[in-house]
């Protein structure tokens, strides 16, 4: 076997001529000096169209390739420019790397695969690159997948949601396919202009194919859908509605705690205002403060300790316990769904309006305002679990993506993980 054939296989690159392979100056890395097999036929690095020679550009350049064993590897080659009719003087396309990338295709591919498999520190240490570099690489890889596949094909039932990705009101609008559970679209912003961009990409014909759109009840979503896909039934996402009840419950818990804290062991009047059956000691007030998780959790997931806490709340604070039952009642509505769910919702609304808990009375009114969308959701029984789990996963990814530059790498990370087109490892398929 010729030595160059061996090196081509080891470096994982085709269509190149290997001129020499040697150690770098301080023998810490292997450098392969290469050139494209047909250097005379230059193509623009951006658009890949044929273009005539322009100049030598910046001279020799290096690209990081995958390590060989324990040793780092670089490819080194000329990077001349061609005169593209569209893009002007542009660095010539090379077969081993993306335009303006400092890493080879195989390197990019491996980083993208790792980004769907393991932790931040595992990737940066294994590949010896900064987290920001990972962000740049996955953005490039994701853009290539986007150019190859049509993520918006055959959508009929979609969920639209917003995800906060940074403090200071930075949001992404995300679109999920209810039938596949895939994330199909994400863009910074949460307003009518952002959502309109989705419908622009979808086009009039495919917008007309949409039968159901689930969302929270934000007007920027419902108004845009009413204009761009008027035939689609708008459903209220159950997990948003239940989240409203959880917020109300939390408000009641805070009121009870504040009262108990302000009047430690104290006045009956203060206690009775928020429905304390007896006066709480300071320690017991703190117990209310710490009961958040017991109140939030679904009853079937409660630990023994949390069960005890809940029994104690039932005995000591009837208002807080009533708020808890109201939250659970609303969860029940969406669990049974259909006509039974609608009947349960009617009972719930009557119960909430006479609960004497201001926040739940207000919630009842809010739910009545959106009754149409909530009924549609109960009738359709949309696979809410899929959308909710995508939603939860995106929120986890926003934390992983901390340290990336801008929202694009986060979108790429979310798309690689949840978009249904996971990258393969290089050299396998
Ligand atoms: Zn071009």
Same domain for 374 and 251?
Answer: yes
Task: Please give the distance, rounded to the nearest whole angstrom, from the Cα atom of residue 112 to the centre of ligand 1.
Answer: 26
Beta strands in 123-201 (DSSP E): 157-166, 170-177, 183-188
Beta strands in 178-232 (DSSP E): 183-188, 212-215
Task: Please give the distance, rounded to the nearest whole angstrom, from the Cα atom of residue 50 to the centre of ligand 1.
Answer: 8
Task: Please give the distance, rounded to the nearest whole angstrom, from the Cα atom of residue 36 to the centre of ligand 1.
Answer: 19
Task: Please give the distance, rounded to the nearest whole angstrom, from the Cα atom of residue 97 to the centre of ligand 1.
Answer: 16
Last residue of a domain, one of 38, 68, 102: 102
Task: Please give the distance, rounded to the nearest whole angstrom, from the Cα atom of residue 94 to the centre of ligand 1.
Answer: 13
Task: Please give the distance, rounded to the nearest whole angstrom, from the Cα atom of residue 387 to the centre of ligand 1.
Answer: 40
Residue 163 sits in a domain whose CATH number is: 3.30.420.10
Same domain for 203 and 324?
Answer: no
| Separation of alpha carbons 194 and 160, rounded Å | 12
Same domain for 258 and 363?
Answer: yes
Alpha helices in 297-337 (DSSP H): 304-316, 318-336
Task: Please give the distance, rounded to the nearest whole angstrom, from the Cα atom of residue 147 to the centre of ligand 1.
Answer: 16
Same domain for 95 and 22?
Answer: yes
**Number of Cβ atoms within 10 Å of the Cβ of 367:** 21
| Separation of alpha carbons 189 and 187, rounded Å | 6
Q: What is the pLDDT of residue 264?
A: 54
Q: What is the pLDDT of residue 1?
A: 58
Same domain for 45 and 154?
Answer: no
Sign of the Cα pseudo-torsion (329, 334, 340, 342, in order): positive
The strand pair at 157-166 and 170-177 is best described as: antiparallel
Last residue of a domain, one of 68, 102, 136: 102
Residue carrying the six token digits 């569209």 = 86
Task: Please give the distance, rounded to the nearest whole angstrom, from the Cα atom of residue 205 to the centre of ligand 1.
Answer: 31
Task: Please give the distance, rounded to the nearest whole angstrom, from the Cα atom of residue 152 to the centre of ligand 1.
Answer: 27
- Secondary structure of residue 100 in the 3-state scheme: coil
Task: Please give the distance, rounded to the nearest whole angstrom, from the Cα atom of residue 87 to the centre of ligand 1.
Answer: 4
Return the H-helix or E-strand segment holding 246.
Answer: helix 238-262
Q: What is the pLDDT of residue 272?
A: 44
Reading the block at residue 384, the tokens are: 């809410």
Question: Is residue 210 within 8 Å of residue 232, measured between CB atoms?
Answer: yes
Q: What is the pLDDT of residue 380?
A: 82
Q: How far is CA 255 from CA 235, 242, 281, 428, in A?
A: 33, 20, 16, 59
Last residue of a domain, one of 69, 87, 102: 102
Neighbours of ion ligand 1 (CB under 5 A): 44, 46-47, 84, 86-87
Task: Please give the distance, rounded to the nearest whole angstrom, from the Cα atom of residue 61 to the centre of ligand 1.
Answer: 20
Task: Please give the distance, rounded to the nearest whole angstrom, from the Cα atom of residue 86 to the centre of ligand 1.
Answer: 5
Same domain for 227 and 112?
Answer: yes
Same domain for 122 and 186?
Answer: yes
Number of domains in the chain: 3
Residue carrying the six token digits 């990814």 = 397
As averages over each run of 10 residues, the pLDDT of the chain (429 residues) reads 82 88 92 83 90 92 95 95 94 92 96 95 96 96 94 94 85 92 94 96 96 89 94 89 92 85 53 54 73 76 83 85 92 89 94 93 95 90 72 88 89 95 88
In terms of Cβ atoms closer than 10 Å to its own Cβ (0-12, 13-18, 19+), residue 277 is: middle
Q: What is the pLDDT of residue 383?
A: 56
Task: Please give the distance, rounded to the nearest whole angstrom, from the Cα atom of residue 144 to the centre of ligand 1.
Answer: 17
- Which range marks the domain in which residue 98 is found? 1-102
Same domain for 212 and 253?
Answer: no
Q: How far is CA 259 from CA 265, 291, 292, in A?
A: 11, 15, 16
The residues pairing with 33 across neighbouring beta strands, listed in sequence order, are 20, 76
- Secondary structure of residue 176 in the 3-state scheme: strand
Q: What is the pLDDT of residue 271?
A: 41
């Amino acid at each position: 076997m010729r030595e160059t054939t061996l090196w081509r296989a080891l470096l994982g690159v085709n269509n190149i001529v290997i001129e020499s392979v040697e150690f770098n100056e301080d023998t810490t890395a292997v450098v392969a000096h290469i050139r494209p097999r047909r250097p005379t036929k230059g193509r623009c690095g951006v658009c890949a169209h044929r273009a005539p020679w322009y100049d030598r550009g910046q001279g020799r350049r290096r690209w990081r390739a995958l390590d060989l064993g324990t040793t780092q590897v670089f490819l080194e080659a000329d990077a001349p420019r061609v005169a593209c009719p569209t893009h002007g003087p542009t660095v010539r396309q090379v077969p081993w790397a993306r335009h303006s990338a400092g890493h080879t295709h195989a390197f990019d591919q491996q980083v993208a695969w790792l980004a769907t498999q393991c932790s931040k520190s595992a990737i940066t240490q294994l590949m010896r690159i900064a987290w920001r570099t990972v962000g740049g690489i996955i953005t490039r890889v994701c853009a290539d997948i986007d150019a190859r596949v049509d993520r918006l094909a055959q959508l009929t039932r979609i969920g639209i949601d917003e995800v906060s990705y940074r403090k200071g009101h930075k949001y992404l609008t995300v679109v999920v396919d209810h039938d596949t559970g895939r994330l199909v679209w994400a863009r910074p912003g949460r307003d009518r202009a952002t959502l309109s961009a989705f419908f622009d990409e979808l086009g009039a014909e495919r917008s007309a194919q949409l039968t159901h759109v689930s969302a929270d009840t934000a007007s920027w979503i419902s108004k845009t859908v009413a204009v761009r896909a008027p035939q689609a039934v708008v459903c209220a996402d159950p997990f948003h509605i239940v989240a409203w009840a959880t917020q109300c419950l939390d408000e009641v818990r805070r009121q009870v705690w504040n009262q108990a804290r302000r009047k430690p062991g104290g006045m009956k009047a203060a206690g009775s205002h928020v429905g304390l059956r007896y006066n709480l000691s300071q320690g017991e007030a703190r117990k209310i403060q710490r009961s958040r998780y017991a109140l939030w959790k679904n009853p079937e997931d409660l630990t023994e300790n949390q069960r005890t806490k809940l029994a104690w709340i039932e005995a000591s604070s009837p208002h807080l316990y009533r708020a808890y039952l109201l939250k659970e009642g609303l969860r029940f509505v969406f669990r049974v769904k259909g006509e039974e769910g609608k009947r349960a919702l009617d009972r719930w609304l009557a119960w909430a309006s006479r609960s004497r808990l201001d926040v739940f009375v207000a919630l009842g009114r809010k739910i009545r305002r959106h009754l149409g969308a909530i009924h549609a959701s109960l009738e359709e029984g949309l696979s809410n679990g899929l959308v909710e789990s995508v939603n939860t996963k995106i929120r986890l990814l926003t934390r992983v993506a901390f340290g990336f530059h801008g929202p694009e790498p986060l979108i790429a990370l979310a798309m690689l993980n949840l978009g249904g087109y996971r990258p393969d490892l290089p050299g396998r398929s």
